[in-house]
Structure 1
Amino acid sequence: LAEHGHSLALSAEAAGRVIRYEAAVAGGIPVVKALTEGLAGNEIQRVLGVMNGSCNYILTRMEDAGLTYEEVFAEADGLGYLEADPNLDVGGIDAAHKLAILASIAFGTEVDFASVVIEGIGAITIEDIHAAADMGYRVKLLGVAQQTGRGLEQRMTPCLVPANSPFGQLQGGTNMVILEGGDVGQIVLRGAGAGEGPTASAVMSDVLDLARGLRLNTFGQAATGLVKSQPAMTATTAPFYLRLQLLDKPGALAKVAAVMGEAGVSIDRMRQYGHDAEQAPVLIVTHKTTRAAIDQILEDFTKTQVVEGQPVALRIEAV
């Protein structure tokens, strides 16, 4: 701009808009403009996204190379894919920031990061990756925001998604956001998840808008018009994937089934793989249930004295 004789002074408000926009685009994908401009006439029903390229790289690399989480984490760190504080990436915090901003724009609510349910990918093992693939799923750090009758639901957690879905086919350090609107159905936005080029492209798009005299509100409306969100106390129901290590002795599985039955959680399917150790790896997929019920059975499993270690529970998301 300077080379062509243009003068551009950013006000604090405009500078803030550029920063917020760059933070919300998920690595260069123009999600904000899609929401505030292209989909302005739609009632947004749900926002879903893989919004951290580093996490997607780690999870897909584990599957492709058969490496452990620790091995791929070290590899990603060596390649410079992780923040100085890696937990911002693998802990889901960076992606949760983006989700909270997009939810605010999509639903006209004040940004409420404190109400985002956040869980990182550190507990995901190569066994989970292989088991998910065996059942037709892939593991993704997935953000979901939707306005329900119970309030605004926001979560950034590892989930199982169908392998043949758009998210399931997303490889490497790539991001994807799906916007669901009342009139347009699903809009899929996909692009590079990190790097100076995509980031610069996103920021310059905003800078050029200012140079052209286009001054749209950051959130699609005046910030003073945003309403305080009512966080959903409970998430929508869904099937869950459970991975347990059971003592290989008679009656162990019956005790687990009894705990699930008492909590009202029914089993859709179950697998047990061959093993040489005293613990038997058992995988269970439940019918639709609540996260609260899953948390209750995980707590009660420890009382059975047949479950070794910490069980893993992953939501299976319909996408």
Structure 2
Amino acid sequence: MKHLLFLTIFFTFCFSSSIEDIYKNALILEKGAQYKEAMLLYKKALDLQLSNQNNTKDKDNKKLEIAFENKNHEVETFSKMKSDFYTKKINKTNNAETNSTIKQIITGNFGLFPYRKNYLIPVSYDLKEKENRNQLETYFQFSIEKPISYDFFGLDESISTAYTQKSFWQTNKNSSPFRETNYSPEIFIQFPYKNSETVKGYKVSLIHESNGKNDLESRSWNRIYLESYLQLSNVFIIPRIWYRIPEKSQNDDNPDIYDYYGYGDLRLLYPYKKHTFELKLRNNLKLTQNNKGAAQLDWTFPLPEFMSTVNSYGFMQIFSGYGESLIDYDKEIHKIGFGIAFSR
């Protein structure tokens, strides 16, 4: 009889996968006064139940991880879709270089990255009236970077080109004209700073900025600037100083631009959870009645879930001072706008 009970326990341990079956067998043993053997089965049933609960938790956690990854990799999924389309649908040639060119055309991957903020502000309001323009207008900024080289000089530096465009659109006027667009191509080199807990790196850049207009409305200047990156906890401090490359007086559209833009600016960036707060300050440092400058506050925040997409954020911008655009470099602007940012 003991041998039979032993075999019952053995087969129950080895082959029974149902907690209910194990529990029933334990009850049979208990009724037959085989308490020790019954306790072994009760223990097995309990262990199996705990194991199943842990597996369920692991599966749920895995589902959450997968959902999170899917939410944050929609762009990668879109890139994969285009790559799969090339792989599965496009007929290949006998030349590898030609195939590479076709793949580049299909996938559209040219290694471009966001540079400055990319945003659209459908509604902004200027508190001061200006001649020949509405106080309500739309404006947007488009900014991309193209890396050129990395570690060319053996200093872990990176060399890039970038292009930033900011356009002001009088959507409330007849025919909705663009009243001003500023174009800013630049080339720069960035170096990491290795011997400090606070200073993270610095950048040297050559930048051109103009509004593409002729005659009296033409504005442009060329600068070399030095920018540094500092971090104190979760506050980033980004000071920048610049030098304007001189122009011949007959070609200079804005000879007094230093009086309004000064010789540099300072950005303070504070990320907090899913929000970012960025304050940009500029001043000509003249301690007289000719003191002029500007302050700009940017706030990005999460959108409601029904509006949320990857890399899109609510955006508010407040500007007060001189130089919001080149055409207004010598005009005082006080403006607030609301929209959507597509990069931070």
Normalization by structure 1: what TM-score? 0.21
Larger Rg: 2
Instruction: From the two aligned structures, give the one with the greater helix fraction.
Output: 1
Instruction: From the two aligned structures, give the one with the greater strand fraction.
Output: 2
Normalization by structure 2: what TM-score? 0.20
Return the structure number with greater relative CO, CA threshold 8 A, min gap 6.
1
